[in-house]
Amino acid sequence: MRIFRHYDELPADARGAAVAVGNFDGVHRGHQAVIGEAGRIARSAGMPWAVLTFEPHPRTVFKPDGEPFRLTPFRIKARHIEALGVDELFVLHFDLEFSRRPAEDFVEGVLVAGLGARHVVSGYDFVFGHGRRGDCDLLLHEGRDAGFDVTCVAAVNDGDGRPYSSTRVRQCLVAADPRGAAHVLGRPFEIEGRVEHGDARGHAIGFPTANLHFAEYLRPAVGVYAVRAGIDQGTHTQWHDGVANLGRRPTFAGTDLVLEAHLFDFDGDLYGQHLRVALIDYLRPETKFDGVDALKAQITADCTRASEILAGT
C-alpha cells in the first residue's frame, strides 16, 4: 500500500480511484464495511482502491487539552487499513485552517482536482467541511455535477441490532470490557510502542515486565488483563501469551499510568523493541498490597487464570 501525504501532483496511477473517505479511528467492523465497499467497486471496475483519512484526528485539533481518546494512532490505523488490501492511502493534514474550508471546496479541490476520484464511498454519518455542512446528500449533488459516483454505506449492526462505532469501542474499554471492544473491532484492542526501561521491580520479584506508556491512546480501565504480546520480527510478529497490569502501581507508590506486560515462557531483552499488547480479557482491578509477598502470590494467581483464559481463545 502506498501512502501519500498530499493530494496534488499525484502519479497518474494513483488517480481515478474508488475512494473511501473518513476518519476511521479504530478501523472497526463498520469502517471495514465502508472501506470494503470501495474495494468491491474498485475491483469490479478495474480502478485503484483508496482510502482518504485525516491526521491528526479533528477532535485533537478542536480540543487540544482533552483527554486522550485515540483507538488507532496513525501508524496502527495505516497497518489495519493495509491489511484490508487497500492500494493507496491518502492522509490529509487537518488543522484549524483546513477545518474552515467549505465543503464544496473540499470536493472540488481534493476529491476532483487532486485525487480525480471516480467513485466516493462514505459512511452514512460522515460529515465534512466548515460548519460540518458536507454530508452524503452534498456528495451526491456534487458528484452529479463533477462526474463521480457516490455510495453512502448504511450503519452496520451486530446480531443484537446495535451499530458498530468507535464510541462503542471506547465505552467498552473504559468499562473494563475488552471482549466487547473486540466484538466491535473484529479483533482485540491493542496498545503498542517501544519498550521502555522501568524500575526493574518486576524482574526483582520474579515477574519481569515490558513497560509501555500510552501517549495518545485512550486509557482503558485500570487493572489486570490477560493479554497476547506481539514482538515485531521484521515482517513477522511473534506472539506470546501473558498477563499485564495497566495502572499506576500503588503498592510501590507509582504515579504514571503504565502498561506492564509479563510474557509467559519468554526470556530475552525487549528494551527498545516494538511491542504490540492485545487486551484479551479483564481479570481484576488494580490493588494496593501490604507487601511484596502478597503481590507475588496474586501475580501467580493472575498468571494461572490468564493462562486458562488464553488457552480457550
The per-residue pLDDT for range 113-153, each reduced to its tens digit, is 999 999 999 999 999 999 999 999 999 999 999 999 999 99
* CA–CA separation, 28 and 282 (whole Å): 20
More confident residue, 313 or 279: 279
End-to-end CA distance of the chain: 31
Instruction: Please check the confidence at residue 61 and state whether its pLDDT lies above 90.
Output: yes
Alpha carbon 89 to chain centroid distance? 15
What pLDDT does 254 receive? Answer: 58
What pLDDT does 226 receive? Answer: 98
Residue with cell 530475552: 268
- Reported as a pLDDT band with limits 50, 70 and 90, residue 272 is confident
What pLDDT does 203 receive? Answer: 55
- Reported as a pLDDT band with limits 50, 70 and 90, residue 269 is confident
Instruction: Please check the confidence at residue 307 and state whether its pLDDT lies above 80.
Output: yes
What pLDDT does 255 receive? Answer: 58
Element (H, E) at 234: none
What pLDDT does 196 receive? Answer: 81
pLDDT above 70 covers a percentage of the chain that reads: 95
What pLDDT does 198 receive? Answer: 63
What mean pLDDT is predicted for residues 63-91?
95
Instruction: Please check the confidence at residue 310 and state whether its pLDDT lies above 90.
Output: yes
Residue spans of the domains in the chain: they are 2-153, 189-311
User: Which range is least confidently modeled, 25-34, 198-207, 303-312?
Assistant: 198-207
* CA–CA separation, 256 and 249 (whole Å): 8
CATH architecture, domain defined by 189-311: Beta Barrel (2.40)
Instruction: Please check the confidence at residue 249 and state whether its pLDDT lies above 70.
Output: no
Instruction: Please check the confidence at residue 205 and state whether its pLDDT lies above 70.
Output: no
Q: Is the pTM of this model over 0.85?
A: yes
Instruction: Please check the confidence at residue 220 and state whether its pLDDT lies above 90.
Output: yes
- Reported as a pLDDT band with limits 50, 70 and 90, residue 267 is confident
User: Which range is least confidently modeled, 87-96, 164-173, 270-279?
Assistant: 270-279
Q: What is the CATH number of domain 2-153?
A: 3.40.50.620
Alpha carbon 254 to chain centroid distance? 28
Instruction: Please check the confidence at residue 100 and state whether its pLDDT lies above 80.
Output: yes
What average pLDDT does the chain have?
A: 92
- Reported as a pLDDT band with limits 50, 70 and 90, residue 256 is confident
Q: Tell me, what amino acid is at 119?
A: H
What mean pLDDT is predicted for residues 283-290?
87
Q: Which three cell numbers stand for residue 277?
A: 499488547
Cα–Cα distances in angstroms (integers) from residue 169 to residues 23, 158, 166, 231, in the given order = 15, 13, 5, 25
Please say whether the beta carbons of 62 and 130 come within 8 A: no
Residue with cell 515482517: 235
What pLDDT does 189 receive? Answer: 98
Q: Which three cell numbers stand for residue 22?
A: 473518513
Q: Which three cell numbers stand for residue 176?
A: 473494563
* CA–CA separation, 22 and 291 (whole Å): 50
222: helix, strand or coil:
coil
User: Which range is least confidently modeled, 169-178, 190-199, 297-306?
Assistant: 190-199
- Reported as a pLDDT band with limits 50, 70 and 90, residue 204 is low
Q: What is the largest CA-CA distance in the chain?
A: 72
What pLDDT does 202 receive? Answer: 57
For the beta sheet containing 236-247, the strands, ordered from the edge strand earlier in sequence to the opposite edge, are: 189-194, 274-284, 223-233, 236-247, 258-263, 210-212
